[in-house]
């Protein structure tokens, strides 16, 4: 046997893969070849050293659990914040605007001086006014609905939260609806790499077929990719709004793949959630980011 | 801990009983910490990475699917956390304390099995030498080798976790061992001896 073949057997032997015949052939070679013996010994030393585990630092498990509990708090908090945010989404904003208009209109009608009304009491005006009242009534109904909506949502939220807390023991099969921490944490973030790449491919496609690579500043937060809108906001978010800090940075040509990873700037840049959306501190300015895909 | 017990614990954590997670930490902390220690070659970094790996596992526990073992998933999180750290260091231009290519004293003195007063000292030296050699491996290669040797994962499990073909895993481990052997034997002092191993056949 030549040394090359022997080396191959040595490396395979490290995994206990050799047949009896191969073992004998290798031993025969080792008996007469000091070099291969040295290689064999070296690998044995590596395996021996790796088997010799060091004890974990004192209090490690406690520290981990503290961090985990902290994580749970953050997740609960941001999940709540996310839910709050949903209430002020565009659909609802229209209703709020309608309410505001209504209030203004009622004001106009109520406080129009009576004398003034008399002076211009043409049939047309009366008709107009009646129309205003009619529509005011209609909108008032709409307003009641609108005001009722957040309350209903609130109730739904409470019910949702209640449902999430003591999930029955039979629940969590692999495909079960994720409870809060996971739903928010890294369901995508730490999903198996294959899925991850699929996600990224999809997101990449969403940016246009001609940009398979990222090439746009992006950041992954809670498993969602956000890209820059280029809009700088003259805001200074509250410390409590800060969701985290950029944990690691990949080249601009790549999409961030893990929680807090960005493909621009430097690590430790803070990002925060505000009414406008996700903002990231880049070059001393807070820049608005938008989710690439839902 | 049996797989069934483990599954029950995971379900309890998922249903909101955060403190149940501690049982998993206690069960796996030694391997996770030692994996991180071998990956980063630095106790402080190892502790940070090991902790982060557990927090990540907690955060994304719901995405853990029963088709892989929890341990192999957790070890993968650990390895990747360490790789992220090492990469960010590299990008920032920080020089790794252990990645000292001028170091030429890597040649291994295999201790005799005979008990001499120096045995312990020699053994310690061997350990240092081996660690130094491990630290010289490209991090990706070190990762798969550690998952195999320390984590006890099969090629298939490593492939599944790292999204690599089993053949690629095998080839990386083969090359990692070859490189280690080269560093630890006389070849290690010849910088040209390793260059042919740098390329990887996918």
Single pTM value for the model: 0.54
To the nearest whole number, what is the mean pLDDT of chain A? Answer: 69
Q: Which two tokens stand for residue A14?
A: 């490290």
Reading the block at residue B112, the tokens are 């005799």
Give the pLDDT of residue A84.
Answer: 65
Radius of gyration (C-alpha) of chain A in whole angstroms? 32
Taking an 8 Å cut-off on Cβ atoms, the answer to whether B60 and A52 are in contact is no
Q: What is the pLDDT of residue B95?
A: 53
pLDDT of residue A31: 93
Nearest CA to B199 out of B173, B172, B165 is that of B172
Instruction: Name the more confident of A212 and A260.
Output: A260
Residues of B in contact with A61 (CB under 8 A): 22, 25-26, 29
What is the pairing mode between strands A248-249 and A261-262? Answer: parallel
Asked whether the predicted pLDDT for residue A57 surpasses 50, the reply is yes
ipTM of the assembly?
A: 0.78
Please indicate if any CB of chain B lies within 8 Å of the CB of A161: no
In this predicted structure, the answer to whether residue A62 has a pLDDT above a threshold of 60 is yes
- For the ranges A132-136, A275-279, A290-294, B154-158, the lowest mean pLDDT is seen at A132-136
List, edge to edge, every strand of the sheet that includes A224-233. Answer: A242-245, A270-274, A277-282, A285-291, A224-233, A218-221, A261-262, A248-249
Quick one: pLDDT at residue A122? 46
pLDDT tens digit sequence for A165-211: 444 444 444 444 444 343 333 333 444 444 444 444 444 444 443 44
Of the candidates A60, A180, A187, which has its C-beta nearest B63's C-beta? A187
- The reply to whether residue A185 touches residue B177, judged by beta carbons under 8 angstroms, is no
Query: Given this model, what pLDDT does residue B145 score?
Result: 92
Least confident of A67-81, A137-151, A213-227, B75-89: A137-151
Q: Does A69 touch chain B (CB under 8 A)?
A: yes
A275/B182 Cα distance (integer angstroms) = 58
CA distance B89 to B71: 27
pLDDT tens track for A278-292: 999 877 778 888 888
Contact flag A179-B80 (C-beta cutoff 8 Å)? no
Mutation target among B15, B16, B17, B59 for the A interface, most CBs of A within 10 A: B59
pLDDT in tens, A70-84: 888 777 766 666 666
Among the partner residues A57, A68, A261, nearest to B58 by beta-carbon distance? A68
What pLDDT is attached to residue B121?
A: 76
Identify whether the C-beta of residue B55 lies closer than 8 Å to the C-beta of residue B48.
no
- The pLDDT of residue B123 is 73
Measured between CB atoms, which of A49, A186, A193 is closest to B60?
A186
For B84, which of A68, A248, A266 is closest by C-beta distance?
Answer: A248
Question: CB contact, 8 Å: A47 with chain B?
Answer: yes
Interface membership of A172 toward B (CB under 8 Å): yes
pLDDT value at residue A175: 44
Q: What is the pLDDT of residue A22?
A: 92
Per-residue pLDDT band at A161 (split at 50, 70, 90): very low
Dist CA A33 CA A62 (whole Å)? 52
Residue of higher predicted confidence among A209 and A242? A242
Percent of the residues in chain A that have a pLDDT greater than 70, as a whole number: 53
Q: Note the pLDDT of residue A236.
A: 77
For residue A179, the model assigns a pLDDT of 42
- According to DSSP, the β-strands at A270-274 and A248-249 are unpaired
Tens digit of pLDDT for each residue in A107-126? 666 665 554 544 444 445 44
What is the C-alpha to C-alpha distance for residues B147 and B142, in angstroms, rounded to an integer?
9
Which residues from B are below 8 Å from A166, CB to CB?
15-16
Which residue in chain B has the smallest CA separation from A49? Answer: B127
Contact yes or no for B84 and A197 at CB 8 A: no
CA-based nearest distance A3→chain B, Å: 13
Report the length, in residues, of chain A: 294
By the 8 A CB rule, do A18 and A1 touch?
no
Q: Would you give per-residue pLDDT tens digits along chain B (202 residues)?
A: 888 889 899 999 988 889 999 999 999 999 999 999 999 988 999 999 999 999 999 988 888 877 788 999 999 999 999 998 988 887 776 655 444 443 444 555 555 555 566 677 777 788 888 888 888 888 889 999 999 999 989 999 999 888 888 889 988 998 899 888 888 885 444 444 434 444 444 4
Task: Tell whether the torsion through CA atoms of A140, A141, A142 and A148 is positive or negative.
Answer: positive
Give CA–CA dist B17/B39, Å, rounded.
32
Q: Please give the Cα distance from A99 to A142 (Å, whole number).
A: 8
Query: What average pLDDT does range A18-30 have in this prediction?
Result: 92
How far is A294 from A93, CA to CA, in rounded Å?
Answer: 20
Per CB-CB distance under 8 Å, the chain A contacts of B56 are 186, 190, 259
Task: Give the model's confidence band at A85: pLDDT under 50 very low, under 70 low, under 90 confident, else very high.
Answer: low
Q: What is the pLDDT of residues A38-48, one digit of tens each?
A: 889 888 888 88
Distance in Å, alpha carbon of B80 to nearest chain A alpha carbon: 10
For chain B, helix (H) and strand (E) counts, in that order, are 8, 0
């Amino acid at each position: 046997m030549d040394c090359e073949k022997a080396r191959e057997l040595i490396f395979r032997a490290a995994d206990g893969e050799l047949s009896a015949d191969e073992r004998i052939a290798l031993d025969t070679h080792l008996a007469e070849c000091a070099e291969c013996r040295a290689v064999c010994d070296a690998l044995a030393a590596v395996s021996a050293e790796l088997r010799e585990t060091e004890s974990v630092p004192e209090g490690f498990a406690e520290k981990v659990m503290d961090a985990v509990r902290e994580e749970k708090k953050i997740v609960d908090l941001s999940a709540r914040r996310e839910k709050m945010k949903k209430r002020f989404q565009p659909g609802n904003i229209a209703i709020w605007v309608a309410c505001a208009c209504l209030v203004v209109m009622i004001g106009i009608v109520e406080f129009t001086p009576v004398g003034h009304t008399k002076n211009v009491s043409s049939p047309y005006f009366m008709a107009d006014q009646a129309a205003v009242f009619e529509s005011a009534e209609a909108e008032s109904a709409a307003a009641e609905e609108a005001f009722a909506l957040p309350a209903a949502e609130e109730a739904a939220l409470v019910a949702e939260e209640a449902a999430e807390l003591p999930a029955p023991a039979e629940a969590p099969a692999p495909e079960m609806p994720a409870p809060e921490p996971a739903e928010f944490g890294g369901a995508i973030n730490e999903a198996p790499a294959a899925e991850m790449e699929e996600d990224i491919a999809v997101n990449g496609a969403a940016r246009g077929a001609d940009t398979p690579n990222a090439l746009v500043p992006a950041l992954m937060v809670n498993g969602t990719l956000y890209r820059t809108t280029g809009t700088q906001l003259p805001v200074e978010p509250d410390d409590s709004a800060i969701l985290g800090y950029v944990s690691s940075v990949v080249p601009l040509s790549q999409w961030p793949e893990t929680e807090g990873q960005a493909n621009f700037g430097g690590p430790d840049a803070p990002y925060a959630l505000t009414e406008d959306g996700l903002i990231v501190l880049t070059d001393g300015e807070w820049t608005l980011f938008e989710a690439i895909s839902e | 801990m049996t797989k069934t017990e483990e599954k029950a614990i995971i379900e309890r954590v998922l249903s909101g009983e955060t403190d149940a997670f501690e049982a998993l930490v206690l069960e796996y902390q030694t391997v996770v910490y030692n994996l991180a220690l071998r990956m980063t070659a630095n106790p402080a970094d190892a502790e940070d990475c090991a902790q982060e790996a557990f927090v990540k596992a907690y955060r994304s526990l719901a995405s853990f699917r029963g088709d892989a073992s929890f341990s192999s998933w957790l070890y993968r999180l650990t390895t990747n956390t360490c790789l992220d750290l090492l990469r960010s260091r590299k990008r920032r231009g920080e020089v790794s304390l252990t990645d000292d290519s001028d170091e030429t004293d890597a040649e291994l003195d295999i201790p005799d099995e005979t008990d001499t007063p120096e045995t312990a000292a020699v053994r310690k030296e061997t350990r240092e030498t081996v660690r130094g050699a491990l630290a010289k491996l490209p991090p990706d290669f070190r990762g798969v080798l550690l998952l195999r040797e320390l984590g006890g994962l099969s090629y298939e499990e490593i492939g599944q976790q790292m999204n690599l073909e089993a053949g690629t895993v095998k080839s990386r481990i083969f090359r990692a061992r070859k490189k280690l052997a080269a560093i630890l034997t006389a070849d290690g002092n010849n910088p040209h001896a390793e260059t042919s191993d740098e390329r990887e056949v996918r």
